Structure 1
C-alpha cells in the first residue's frame, strides 16, 4: 500500500499537470531551459499566467529555476527528464511517460 506522503506527492504532481498550459510548458521545456518571457512568447500566453503556472509546477517538484542576473531560466527537474527528451513522472508505484503535446 502507498504511504500517505507518497500519495500526497503523487496527487500534487497530477494536480499540477491537470491544466493544458502547464502541459504545454512541460513540453516546451523538453528541449532546454527557457525564461518566462520566452515561454510566454512561444505559447502565446500572458507573462503573469506563465509565472503562476511555473509556481505550481515548481511546487509539484516538476521544474526548477536558475537565476542569471535578473532573469530566471526554468528547466525540467533532472529526475523527470531523460537525454532523449522524454519526460517521466514517477507516481511512486509506477513511472509514466508524458507524451509530447501536439
Structure 2
C-alpha cells in the first residue's frame, strides 16, 4: 500500500478544521458578511444583530483555522477573509477555496 506524504495529513487536518468551523451557522454568517470587506467586531455584531462577545468568539475560531486574517488600525482590529481562501484581486467569487475543496457560499439575503 502506497503511503501518503506527511504533508497530505496536515492538509487534511487543516481542511477538516476549516469545514468544522464553517459548519456553525453563526460563523458562516460572519464569513458571508466579511465578503464586503474588512470589519471590526462591533460592526459585525451590529450587522448580524448578535452579541459582541459571541461574535468575537466565532471570529477567533475562524482566524485560528486560517479563514480570517486580522489587521490592527489604531485601537481596532479589523477582520477580513484571508486572500488564500477568498482572493480579492480576482473576479468576484461566490466560492471559498479551502485548499482541499471549494465551498459555494449562498448569497446573503
When the two structures are superposed, what TM-score results if normalisation uses the length of structure 2?
Answer: 0.82
Q: Deviations over 1:60-95 (max 9, x none)?
A: 100011001110111000112134143323342x33
Distance 1:85 1:91 in 2: 16
Across the aligned residues of Structure 1 and Structure 2, the Cα RMSD in angstroms comes to 1.8
- Unpaired runs of at least 5, structure 1: none
**Structure 2 residue corresponding to 1:71, chosen from 73, 76, 82:** 76
CA shift for structure 1 position 20: 0.5
User: Structure 2 vs 1, CA of residues 71 and 34 (structure 1 numbering), >3 Å: closer, same or farther?
Assistant: same
Match of 2:11 in 1: 6
Q: Deviations over 1:36-58 (max 9, x none)?
A: 00000000110000110000000
Does 1 or 2 have the higher relative contact order (CA < 8 Å, sep 6+)? 1
Consecutive unaligned residues in structure 2, runs of 5 or more: none
Distance 1:90 1:35 in 2: 23
Question: Where do 4+ consecutive residues of structure 1 move more than 6 Å?
Answer: none
Q: Which residue of 2 aligns with 1:95?
A: 102
